[in-house]
Amino acid sequence: MTTRSVTATSFSPRRLGGWGFEGRNFPPSPGLLTWLEKRLGETQPFPVFDPTELAVPKGRSLPDLPLETSAAPLDRLAHSRGQGLTDLLRLRSGTVPAIPDGVARPSDSQEVVAILEGCAAAGVRVIPWGGGTSVTGGVNVIPGNQTVITLDLERLSGLEGLDPKSGLATFGAGTSGPALEEALGPHGLTLGHFPQSWELSTLGGWIATRASGQESLGYGGIDDLVAGLDLVAPAGRLELPPLPASAAGPDLRQLVLGSEGRLGVVTSATVRVRPQPERLEVEAVILPSWEVGIEAARRLTQERVPLSLLRLSDETETEVAMTVGLAGHPWMASLVRRWLELRGVKGGGCLMLLGSAGSAGRVRTTFSRGRALLRTLGAVSLGSRPGRQWLADRFRHPYLRDGLLDRGIATDTLETAAPWTALPAVYRATRRALESALAGYDESTAVLCHLSHPYQDGASLYFTVFFRCPADVDLAIERWASLKRTATSAIVAAGATLSHHHGVGSWHAPWLADEIGSDGVRLLESVTDAFDPQGVLNPTVLVDPKDRLET
Ligand SMILES: Cc1cc2nc3c(=O)[nH]c(=O)nc-3n(C[C@H](O)[C@H](O)[C@H](O)COP(=O)(O)OP(=O)(O)OC[C@H]3O[C@@H](n4cnc5c(N)ncnc54)[C@H](O)[C@@H]3O)c2cc1C
């Protein structure tokens, strides 16, 4: 192994109560605002509170720890919530119900051991924090009497070892997406894991939530990419070496993947890396309908066309993408629509993005196989312009949420996965639930969906929902909670998974038994009890039946 250390890229300060970094924005286009107002009605701006004016309560006294723990009010506030919609609403309105009493930043695994020992002895709760991009309440401080420390892992960052011949790289768990790719770049390597939250999320967070990147079709999800890892817990330690495969009992790596900090703190991991592709290209086609699009996605995947990315938008998401985003100006969109009508596509059709990574030759042959298959299903090619635009904007999209909230439009996303045969019914049930969830408040929603992360046996569905955000934060959260309960119940009742890649956190935890059974939950509890008998680590996530949606 050659060893090289890398420091994290320095950025402008992170935005509090919003996505990303100060000074970076992606405002909604006038076309999108008009489209949304037509469906939701007129909106009122959601007020923004200046966090520096908040009188942050003094933290409770902290145990003696082997490193300095930050008690700075703004630092603690910035570590109080993740990036779910209610997190943003609470932070923006200055109504966060609880914040950590301190923020600890260990710089090696020995310090993590010592912190956990100190906290277990003093009865202090510890919340591991990677990039804080959880959308399931995973890093949120729950009000209570116990002292809480957030364990920010940003100092456990950088490349610790590289074995290029085996395609293995070891990183500190706090390494962010950009820092990880920056460290691999000079070696001509990539991990190929690009979640939309890539700019901020970390390797440890991806492992803890069982994350999936946009190019998972080509590279696999994080569960495919992790070869080995180190985990530190109050009553145990795992040092699982990188191995290509093993029949030495159940795979404990897979037990850590998705454990959300309950089982221990991942301090480092060895991941499978590959040569950087010479090029990544994305082509766009329109399929005549959603049903035909699903069939096309299934066949492309099962016939093993070697794509790295596949994403199929439903009719509504296609309308939005074509009108306001990917096609460029509105006149361009109507030109595209007229052209599609001439080619026999009625009602706008469904946009599919197909990505291919590799040498120029591989990209060419992949697309030509894909095109041949899609032509038999009536697809019309839009060429590479929409794909180039999507690639250029893909990590800017999260900034859009803040611009919409400024105008009083709330956005949230839900995701699931199901076998190919079940997908149409899961889609209909979830869409119906999201569309009607706010009828009791006499409010409408606008719902978009796309299919992505396809597998041999099924795929993920990703829903985006918009609704008018009342200026009263408690009312806004009540509406969101009602919407989330209705849609999550519909997903589970349709037999689909509670989450394909966002994880369980505290917001999905009450439904976990619906998927894995009460004995499955009991088994998980006994595993977490073995490593953390006092419930020091993040006890309100994963296995916690309490409904905390309105916290
Ligand atoms: C705009 C946006 C887009 C997103 N897009 C995607 C996407 O495309 N794909 C996807 O999979 N997810 C996505 N997410 C969800 C989120 O980014 C992922 O869950 C991500 O994996 C979290 O990583 P993080 O480093 O921010 O972890 P955090 O949010 O800090 O933590 C998440 C959970 O993991 C625990 N944890 C964190 N680090 C460790 C560690 N080292 N050891 C033990 N436990 C730990 C925390 O306690 C918490 O329970 C998105 C979120 C947002 C806001």
d(CA 549, CA 414): 14
Give 256 Cα–ligand 1 centroid separation in angstroms: 14
Query: Looking at ligand 1, which atom is closest to the CA of residue 134?
Result: 29
Question: What fold does the segment set 279-393 form as a domain?
Answer: Alpha-Beta Plaits (3.30.70)
Contact 482, 470 (CB under 8 A): no
Residue corresponding to tokens 């603690």 = 76
User: What is residue 243's DSSP assignment?
Assistant: -
Token pair for 23: 């000074």
What's the chain's Rg over C-alpha atoms? 23
Tell me the CATH number for domain 43-155: 3.30.43.10
Ligand 1 close to Cβ of residue 81 (< 6 A): no
Count of alpha carbons within 13 angstroms of residue 43, beta-carbon side: 27
Q: Which residues pair with 467 in a beta bridge?
A: 410, 445
Q: Do domains 159-275 and 279-393 have the same CATH topology?
A: no
The answer for residues whose C-beta is within 8 angstroms of residue 336's C-beta and 6 or more apart is 322, 327, 382
Query: Looking at ligand 1, which atom is closest to the CA of residue 156?
Result: 41
Q: What are phi and psi of 63, to 5 degrees?
A: -70, 165
Residue corresponding to tokens 């909670």 = 481
The domain locations on the chain are: 43-155, 159-275, 279-393, 397-493
Query: Over its length of 551 residues, how does the chain's per-residue pLDDT go in tens digits?
Result: 332 222 333 447 899 999 999 999 999 999 899 999 999 999 999 988 887 777 888 899 998 888 999 999 999 999 999 999 999 999 999 999 999 999 999 999 999 999 999 999 999 999 999 999 999 999 999 999 999 999 999 999 999 999 999 999 999 999 999 999 999 999 999 999 999 999 999 999 999 999 999 999 999 999 999 999 999 999 999 999 999 999 999 999 999 999 999 999 999 999 999 999 999 999 999 999 999 999 999 999 999 999 999 999 999 999 999 877 665 566 666 777 777 788 777 778 999 999 999 999 999 999 999 999 999 999 999 999 999 999 999 999 999 999 999 999 999 999 999 999 999 999 999 999 999 999 999 999 999 999 999 999 999 999 999 999 999 999 999 999 999 999 999 999 999 999 999 999 999 999 999 999 999 999 999 999 999 999 999 999 999 889 999 98
Ligand 1 close to Cβ of residue 501 (< 6 A): yes
Give 317 Cα–ligand 1 centroid separation in angstroms: 25
User: What is residue 472's DSSP assignment?
Assistant: S
Residue identifier of the C-alpha nearest atom 50 of ligand 1: 197
CA–chain centroid gap for 212, Å, is 8
d(CA 498, CA 508): 7
Give 211 Cα–ligand 1 centroid separation in angstroms: 7
**Class of CATH domain 159-275:** alpha beta
Token pair for 400: 């859009």
Question: What fold does the segment set 397-493 form as a domain?
Answer: GMP Synthetase; Chain A, domain 3 (3.30.300)
Statement: the pTM of the whole predicted model exceeds 0.85: yes
Pseudo-torsion of CA 527, 530, 536, 538, nearest 10°?
-10
- CB count in 10 Å sphere of residue 384: 14
User: What is residue 21's DSSP assignment?
Assistant: B
Query: Looking at ligand 1, which atom is closest to the CA of residue 264?
Result: 43
Token pair for 219: 């590279």
Query: Looking at ligand 1, which atom is closest to the CA of residue 505?
Result: 49
Ligand 1 close to Cβ of residue 206 (< 6 A): yes
